[in-house]
Structure 1
């Protein structure tokens, strides 16, 4: 069931590209470090905040993986998700399909049940607590051992703990999707959805590989797909969703400036693109901050914003009645702002 909401207000969206591990605010990192007795290489909050200037994807990952070491107890994971959902709901998120790099925690010796149980404690009451419906994806490091990912996936399936799909993330270049063909086949055989990062740092061939080898249902990022006209035609024809994170793309130097971002060009070419926040504290804010940036730098109209929002719900793993309810919210938002929904 969706929770009714009046309009206007923030643009109602589905958040489909969000790493829970990357939602810890700097203050929360230090709070958890103190609570759990974790020594971090930062003198204070100002020192930590000064590290949030990145030169590339790896510089971000180095900080991210340092910060997530503060997550130790089941309640820590629950608190992380609850705080994200509270902020996301205020930013207009109505449905969230969130991912977690469980591998980053089990590799540190945190039991699988601690991680997944903590996530589920928050997600299972997300509608009652935050008015947000949710799905949970488990992402694997593409630059980590394939056998490790496969073993973890088998353990997840055997555990019986509910989750909805898997993804592929972390450093892209040099780690083609084809490496994980068998892992993704196993996931599909067990009824799980499959998504994959592609075309962020790596070229359009990483997107093609994710489609062909992994049979990915959605591509996270995909901005470099524009470099291959045949791929663009395929993505349009097959209506493959691309979950784009504008602020992240600029902060990680995948795009020089927001004014250079290809989002609206992608929309105009018929690609099923939508806007998401990736790792909000690291890149400049929640979905609403990304939407604001698209308006300010690219001049996106209300009709274009509604198109992006509709794409987000069309791209989500939702039942038809849930999707229809959310699409009606987008139409109501646009009508309240004097725009006209598509026929």
Structure 2
């Protein structure tokens, strides 16, 4: 990945992560530890579950989103007690803190746990305990987002949304908003209008996975039918220039996940993502890890992969990080703190060049790449 001064600069940037599934941060070592602790038998007919190393190796050979989701849902079987959910989430927060994350807006899937007979209070107790620790011990502010699984019937999603404990968390402010995740292309946004309408009536923030597998139409429908103010992924936005201009004018944030898109075969290389196009057009986006334990890259790995592919300047990175902060769902006072931290980093690096491992250089005043073609 990136080397020398490039890595030091990227490490120093105050990061907001807005597309991270806590269940997707279940590292094989943690998975096996929790399986042993809870006396959970892992599948014996799949050699991938022979050891943490074998499972990690299998994660490097995903053939599709559905192939990944198969292991994703199997892994959740080890999460039983509140302490398990706390261990999972705090392991992610420790990784994030080392990578320079100062604010994280984290997803979780209520249905994936209640369908296994796990009481929602157990899930919330564990995740909120980890969030409290992250604030106290690591200085990371957080927001929690309840995602609904679009491959399940919309009626099931509505029933989950109306769960007493979720409603209490919405009203009490412990959960900031809702999202829509899982398999995208066969489950259009129109199926979930009522769910998002109810969330809007409660004043909840709303986001949705769109434009990852499915075309740009899913992005438009998420905005128009679901009332989302953020789009998760959105890599296919350039298919619709008029929609892209609308996204620019509305300052809608996209939460891009570069390594995820490569691992799940959406693109062959990070260099094929429209990152340069987005910067030049004024599209606001953040860079995120998605499911880092499964995709082999936490947030700093994604920053490095983008730098290797595009040879961005410090000016470009200021644009990316500033947009991520401004598009966050935290209070303005916290945004102001993060913006001051970003200004301090940019002042320290003013006039310096970023030299990538392949030798290309970009300076603070050079907002145009040198045509680096990545891998």
Aligned pair partner of 2:71 in 51, 63, 74: 63
Deviation at 1:284, TM superposition (A): 2.3
For the residue of structure 1 that corresponds to 2:91, the secondary structure is helix
Secondary structure at the aligned position of 1:223 is classed as: coil
Q: Who is 1:113 aligned against?
A: 121
Q: Which runs of 5+ in 1 are unaligned?
A: 1-6
Kept in 1: contact 2:56–2:294 (CA 8 A): no
Q: CA deviation at 1:268?
A: 1.2
1:47 to partner: Cα distance = 2.3
Residue segments in structure 2 that go unaligned for 5+ positions in a row: 1-7, 44-48, 352-363, 366-375
Q: Does 1:148 align with 2:156?
A: yes
Q: Which range moves more in the overlay, 154-163 or 81-90? A: 154-163
Q: Secondary structure at the match of 2:19?
A: coil
Q: Distance in 2 between matches of 1:270 and 1:23?
A: 31
Structure 1 residue 56 displacement after superposition: 1.2
Q: In 1, distance between residues paired with 2:281 and 2:294?
A: 30
Does 1:245 pair with 2:257? yes
Match of 2:53 in 1: 46
The Cα shift of 1:37 comes to 1.0
Map Cα deviations across residues 274-295 of structure 1 (whole Å, 9 max, x no partner): 1111011212221111010111
In the superposition, relative to structure 1, how do residues 31 and 269 fare at CA in structure 2: closer, same or farther (>3 Å)? same
1:132 deviation in Å? 0.3
Out of 217, 223, 232, the position equivalent to 1:220 is 232
1:37 alignment counterpart: 39
Shift of 1:237: 1.0
Residues in 2 aligned to 1:194 and 1:138: alpha-carbon distance in whole angstroms: 10
Q: 1:189 aligns with which of 194, 197, 201?
A: 201
Offset from partner CA, 1:13-54 (integer Å, 9 cap, x none): 110000000001111111111111111121122321222111
Q: SS of the counterpart of 1:191? A: coil
Instruction: Provide the rounded CA distance (Å) in 1 between the counterparts of 2:273 and 2:121.
Output: 40
Q: Secondary structure at the match of 2:29?
A: helix
Q: CA deviation at 1:193?
A: 0.8
Tell me the TM-score normalised to structure 2 length: 0.86
Determine which structure has more spread, i.e. the larger CA radius of gyration: 2
Counterpart selection for 1:320 from 315, 332, 336: 332
The alpha carbon displacement at 1:145 in A equals: 1.3
Task: Assess if the C-alpha contact under 8 Å between 2:31 and 2:78 holds in 1.
Answer: yes
8 A Cα contact 2:259 2:302, kept in partner? yes
Q: Deviations over 1:260-285 (max 9, x none)?
A: 12112112111011111101121222
Mapped pair 1:85 → 2:88: no
Q: What does residue range 1-343 of structure 1 map to in structure 2 within 5 Å? A: 9-41=11-43, 42-52=49-59, 53-155=61-163, 156-160=165-169, 162-339=174-351
Cα displacement (A) at 1:318:
2.1
Q: What RMSD over aligned residues (CA atoms) do the two structures have, in Å?
A: 1.6
Aligned length: 336
For the 8 Å contact 1:243–1:274, the answer to whether it is kept is yes
